[in-house]
């Protein structure tokens, strides 16, 4: 499957379409849904690792409610329609990354070198980031807090 470019400038490529799951999640990630994901974030210009949640907790999962403002909007746009177990590479343009930084929703760098790479990307003016995302949990939103479990 080739690259898909959205009107916002976000682009993505799907590597694994995942499974449809229950009727409630058949359409995949939607605004207001609770999702769990394993992800890495790299710079586009030099492919330098900034963030990874692999091995961070017992489920290696980052969880949030889509559209809540807790995660970069551009990355969420690229995740729309992703199903349980699906994998995408999402490129989020610099202007959207700067906006995410200014609102405090970029995931924290996982290492000191990652922090330095974030800062270098912002100084260079090209802060385009690549998010490699695998959906590990998805549930229709119900305003609950906490971990997202896989709904099959």
**pLDDT tens, 90-112?**
999 988 988 888 888 888 887 88
d(CA 110, CA 104): 16
Tell me how far apart the alpha carbons of residues 111 and 1 are, in angstroms, rounded to a whole number: 33
For the domain bounded by 4-139, which CATH number is listed? Answer: 3.10.50.40
pLDDT in tens, 122-136: 888 888 999 999 999
Give the whole-angstrom CA distance, residue 152 versus residue 149. Answer: 9
Mean predicted confidence (pLDDT) in 50-78:
84
Residue 13 vs residue 144, higher pLDDT = 13
Q: What phi, psi does 23 have (nearest 5°)? A: -55, -35
- What are the extents of the domains in the chain? 4-139
Question: Reduced to 3 states, what is the DSSP secondary structure of residue 139?
Answer: strand
135's tokens: 């959906």
Distance CA 76, CA 74 (A): 5
Largest CA distance in the chain: 46
Q: Strand pairing partners for 14?
A: 88
**pLDDT in the model for residue 151:** 41
Tokens coding 44: 């586009």
Give pLDDT, residue 90: 97
């Amino acid at each position: 499957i080739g690259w898909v470019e959205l009107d916002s400038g976000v682009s993505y490529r799907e590597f694994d379409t995942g499974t449809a799951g229950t009727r409630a999640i058949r359409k995949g990630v939607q605004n207001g849904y609770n999702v769990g994901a394993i992800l890495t974030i790299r710079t586009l210009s030099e492919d330098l690792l900034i963030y990874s949640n692999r091995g961070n907790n017992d489920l290696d999962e980052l969880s949030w409610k889509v559209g809540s403002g807790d995660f970069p909007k551009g990355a969420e746009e690229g995740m729309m329609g992703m199903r349980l177990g699906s994998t995408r590479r999402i490129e989020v343009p610099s202007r959207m990354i700067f906006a995410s930084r200014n609102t405090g929703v970029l995931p924290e760098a996982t290492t000191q070198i990652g922090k330095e790479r974030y800062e270098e990307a912002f100084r260079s003016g090209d802060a385009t980031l690549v998010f490699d995302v695998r959906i590990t949990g998805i549930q229709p939103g119900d305003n609950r807090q906490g971990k997202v479990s896989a709904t099959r």
